[in-house]
Amino acid sequence: MAATLFLRNSLLHNHPLSKSFSASPYSSKPHSYSIKAAKMLGSEITEEEETNVNEKKKVFVAGATGSTGKRIVDQLLAKGFEVKAGVRDLEKAKSILPDNPALQIVKADVTEGATKLAEVIGDDADAVICATGFRPSWDLLAPWKVDNFGTVNLVEACRKLGVNRFILISSILVNGAAMGQILNPAYIFLNVFGLTLIAKLQAEQYIRKSGINYTIIRPGGLRNDPPRGNIVMEPEDTLYEGSISRDQVAEVAAEALVIQESSYKVVEIVSRIEAPKRSFEDLFGCIKQQ
């Protein structure tokens, strides 16, 4: 039953399926720095009124019109980030993404190479979130073009720009063979489409060797309905079944930008009715850094 649920939700998904900073790289709200203006009076320096200066962090989201990507955009905007949404179809994006002054929509195709992606991402990006996923077709190379080479292109674009924060939405069971799950129906099914999970796994390995501060998020079968139950977060190669609402995946991705403990980690997530509610600091903090 669990495997069937995973397969069904995975297909709906089209399946999207350096050490850690000494301080949290981002804040859940725009940064607010208190600056005291100083004025020289003779030999004395006097302090004037404090002035607040707000600085919003900008995040580039690849795959922003996907079922998970658009939810990530919503989460980031709600948390006060500026967002640059990378999409292949501008008209589609304008029809489904919110009208928000903090959102910029740009045309971006991860298969077109790192140099072009770097131009689109721009030199003002603080982080990149990859929520891309190939569209099922008869092209058996599609998973490699998008989920492998496309992700590698994004990583290389970050390196060109000096962007040192990268979050990838991957999938549980990407390392199913090493987990002894080679006969798991979900593992077999997802690899039928051009060895999708293997393509994702190799992209993960590239990220981990890149030197960029990464968080790799491996969700279970993705559901379009609202969250049911609380998030369960486990280390890599632990979960082989289960599902989770896309809303919760988007929330985990956005929180990863805020929480220091998410750096250099691979986490697997599902939701369970019986699971206790835990803070994201606790969830990420219980996973060992790679």
The pLDDT tens digits for 179-223 are 999 999 989 988 887 789 999 999 999 999 999 999 999 999 999
pTM for the structure as a whole: 0.81
Q: Which CATH class is domain 2-13+56-285?
A: alpha beta
Per-residue pLDDT, averaged over 101-111, amounts to 97
Domains of the chain, by residue range, sit at: 2-13+56-285
Which one has a higher pLDDT value, 70 or 17? Answer: 70
- Alpha helices by DSSP H, listed for 148-222, are 151-161, 185-192, 196-209
Q: Choose the weakest-confidence range: 74-88, 122-136, 197-211, 228-242.
A: 122-136
The pLDDT value recorded for residue 136 is 65
Distances (CA, A) of 258 to 2, 30, 41, 93, 98: 32, 11, 41, 26, 22
Residue 46 has pLDDT above 70, yes or no: no
Q: Cα(166)–Cα(108) distance, rounded to whole angstroms?
A: 17
**Each residue of 7-28: pLDDT tens digit?**
334 433 444 433 333 344 543 3
The pLDDT value recorded for residue 213 is 98
Residue 268 sits at φ, ψ, to 5 deg, of -115, 135
Residue 267 has pLDDT above 80, yes or no: yes
